[in-house]
Amino acid sequence: MKISFHGHSVVKIESNGKTILIDPFITGNSLTDLKAENQNPDFIVLTHGHGDHVGDTVEIAKRSGALVIAVNELALYLQSRGVNAHPMHIGGSREFEFGKIKFTQAFHGSGIQQEDGTFLYMGMPAGVLIMNEGKTVYHAGDTGLFSDMKLIGELHPIDLAFLPIGDNFTMGPEDAALAAEFLQAKTVVPIHYDTFPPIQQNPEDFTSKLKAGNGKVMQPGDITEL
């Protein structure tokens, strides 16, 4: 698997000759190196329904024909917007052409605010495990710390984990460092920071807190191979 980070929570994975975009928030993302109009993924995976994660999904999926994989409520909403979407839910796993995906719990919100101010509920927020060729990538989505991260790591030995560190909306650096310990991932990459004023962080402060010394700061465009 070839994995690249693209600012905020945007991660791209190439696996089995297929391209997967996770949480493609590109338009309005001041940190990203991507352009939405250049993206032609085979799959889009969404962790939850907030704008800084759904991002350019509708435009990219309609143009490229990508299959969007998300929890049921979000997937059905996207279907109503004319997108090809596959609904799943927390605890569920399924094989696709790129490998296997499993949705895990996350403690956060998920909804889309309409023009009249009311919210459309988008189901539970999630994290995802993506597995292929004996390698496992975990994208935690937006979440607070929870001790069942120990179980996630026990059941699925993780090679690479993307964890939010921005604080305010998600775990901050201290809780994320504990999450990294719980998960026992081989390598941990901080995400979801610096994009907006309330989530300014120094990612090196996070990696310096990791007792296992397994933190890796990826700049937008950086690639890791597993």
Report DSSP state, residue 57: H
| Shortest spacing between CB 142 and Mn ion, in angstroms | 4
Residues across the chain: 226
| Shortest spacing between CB 31 and Mn ion, in angstroms | 13
| Shortest spacing between CB 135 and Ni ion, in angstroms | 27
Residue 142 touching Mn ion (CB under 5 A) = yes
How many residues form the binding site for Ni ion (CB under 5 A)?
Answer: 2
Stretch that binds Ni ion, among 30-38, 49-57, 132-140, 182-190 (CB under 5 A): 49-57
Q: Name which of 21 and 131 has its Cβ closer to Mn ion.
A: 21
Residue 52 touching Mn ion (CB under 5 A) = yes
Stretch that binds Ni ion, among 16-24, 48-56, 71-79, 83-91 (CB under 5 A): 48-56
Distances (CA, A) of 119 to 32, 48, 111, 115, 127: 27, 14, 6, 9, 22
Burial status of residue 220 (CB atoms within 10 A of its CB: 0-12, 13-18, 19 or more):
middle
| Shortest spacing between CB 157 and Mn ion, in angstroms | 27
Report DSSP state, residue 215: B
* Residue 46 near residue 53, CB atoms below 8 Å: yes
* Residue 226 near residue 158, CB atoms below 8 Å: no
Distances (CA, A) of 14 to 5, 70, 171: 12, 18, 27
Residue 142 touching Ni ion (CB under 5 A) = yes
Q: Name which of 15 and 110 has its Cβ closer to Mn ion.
A: 110
Stretch that binds Mn ion, among 50-58, 153-161, 178-186, 214-222 (CB under 5 A): 50-58
Residue 6, phi then psi, degrees to nearest 5: -135, 35
Residue 50 touching Ni ion (CB under 5 A) = yes
| Site residues (vs Mn ion, CB under 5 A) | 52, 142
Binding site for Ni ion (CB under 5 A): 50, 142
